[in-house]
Structure 1
């Protein structure tokens, strides 16, 4: 006869992987502040691509001076169409560089009617950015955690984020924060910081 507990092990493992992170995995405001980058400035990096003309490069260099670009962000172009085409797509104020890249490329590819797949040609990161931090939030969400807004959310203040869309919301408790975040239409909101 087969040991019944040997059947439970894979089931329990699968269930634990499907469950949301525990409250111990969510940082409090003080811990989050130490992990997050400053919110005053951002930097834009141009990623060299053979399709970028000298005019495109000059335009990209001027962008931070002409517009306040919020981190994390990315700009994707269709190489066959160039920077000035309608297919060029920016995704800014996301919670990670990876999410911004993915959103910019997806938006650009959705606008293409053929030709080469879209590529990222510029990225916006916090000033003094270092990869590998345990917690990253958009510039606006970082400001909310760093400032008074977080405390004003209530005795059980929480901040929920949508990793896929960049949406976020504050609330008095995790459920309220998720509800505020989801009101933007995001279906993947999860608590990122809690009192």
Structure 2
């Protein structure tokens, strides 16, 4: 899949309407953990799948694991992407990292998802586990406020007060200097 096609897909997957906090609360999953979903594959043995399934809620949702089929279970090419705002975004990130790192001919495949507990597809708003946790703080207070997320990186930020939308977008695009790198695709998902 070409980079342009991946970005177009990612942007389409995240074309969500902005909603208020009350509506958002009804859409978001519980922030307290998730579940592992093993996908049918011919790459991992039953023992390897059992080992991976023990990860439980240790990796924040939405996440995915991609493996290089010809490089073995412990290959450095095998990559995980976690804490994204949808499973589609996590898959894109895991596959891109795995395919870049692999040395074999066969393309990487997704073998596992990390999803919110009781996940159901099709909700109007999906946010990563840490963004969903941050939403609890966002809801406090009655000031003007906005919450922004990045589809490509999993970044999120919120701001309160005058100019909240611009401040949230700026903070989201800058990242936090640790695991969240700079983004260019942040957009507002919640605004009050």
TM-score of the alignment, normalized to the shorter chain, above 0.5: yes
CA displacement, residues 129-173 of structure 1 (integer Å, 9 cap, x when unaligned): 00011110001111122x134436x71111100011100111131
Structure 1 residue 62, shift from structure 2 partner: 1.9
The answer for the alignment partner of 2:140 in structure 1 is 151
Are residue 194 (structure 1) and residue 186 (structure 2) matched? no
Matches within 5 A, 1:1-195: 25-64=17-56, 68-145=58-135, 147-151=136-140, 155-172=143-160, 173-184=164-175, 185-195=182-192
Structure 1 residue 56, shift from structure 2 partner: 1.5
CA distance in 2, matches of 1:166, 1:189: 9
CA distance in 2, matches of 1:52, 1:165: 28
Unmatched 5+ stretches in structure 1:
1-20
Unmatched 5+ stretches in structure 2:
1-14, 176-181
CA displacement, residues 2-26 of structure 1 (integer Å, 9 cap, x when unaligned): xxxxxxxxxxxxxxxxxxx89xx31
Tell me the TM-score normalized by structure 1: 0.81
The answer for the alignment partner of 1:13 in structure 2 is none
CA distance in 1, matches of 2:117, 2:154: 19
CA displacement, residues 94-125 of structure 1 (integer Å, 9 cap, x when unaligned): 00000001100011001012321000000011
Contact kept, 8 Å, 2:71 with 2:104, in 1: the verdict is no
CA distance in 2, matches of 1:186, 1:83: 31
Secondary structure of the 1:151 match is coil
CA distance in 2, matches of 1:100, 1:82: 22
Tell me the TM-score normalized by structure 2: 0.83
Contact kept, 8 Å, 1:150 with 1:158, in 2: the verdict is no
CA RMSD of aligned residues (A): 1.8
Contact kept, 8 Å, 2:70 with 2:106, in 1: the verdict is yes
Between Structure 1 and Structure 2, whose CA radius of gyration is higher?
1
CA distance in 2, matches of 1:120, 1:57: 12
Structure 1 residue 48, shift from structure 2 partner: 2.4
